[in-house]
Amino acid sequence: MHMLRNGLFMLLTAALLMACSASNSPEKVAQDYINAVLANDINGVMSTLHIQADAPKEQDALIRGKLSILLADTSTRVIRLGGVKKITYSKPEYNADKTRANLVAIIRYKNDNAPNKEEHIALVKTDDGWKVSL
């Protein structure tokens, strides 16, 4: 009985630690953003973006339309370069009050002749967690 209680306590502690982990850290949001861009996933990209709450409704449609074109171009480039070999991320650099962060994603392609692509990603801390700032 004592072992069962200790085992249950350990399991609940582990679950609590996982729930409180940095699932919405700048690094995680940047990874989700880059993965969505490379997968040509407009909804995934939109979920990572910081769009002002008071922005006009038309702005969302405008951003979605322009990003769809950009994602199609990116998808074509990735295919042309043989796909993605590896993505590495720099450590985030924060402002003084840690409400903004910047980091760099370096995308390496499978085609040996392809130059690496550096994506500078700016993030902002919102009430909903970290978001990519346009």
Q: Which fold has domain 24-132?
A: Nuclear Transport Factor 2; Chain: A, (3.10.450)
Read off the pLDDT of residues 26-52 as tens digits, 9 standing for 90 and up. Answer: 999 999 999 999 999 999 999 999 987
- Under 8 Å between Cβ of 29 and 114: no
Give the bridge partners for 120, in sequence order: 104
Q: Which two tokens stand for residue 56?
A: 């006009």
**pLDDT for 52:** 79
Helix (H) or strand (E) holding 40: none
Read off the pLDDT of residues 57-86 as tens digits, 9 standing for 90 and up. Answer: 788 888 899 999 999 999 999 999 999 999
Quick one: 26 exposed, middle or buried, by C-beta within 10 A (0-12, 13-18, 19+)? buried
**pLDDT for 15:** 38
Whole-model pTM? 0.79
| Residue ranges of domains in the chain | 24-132
Residue 10 pLDDT grade (very low, low, confident, very high; cuts 50, 70, 90): very low
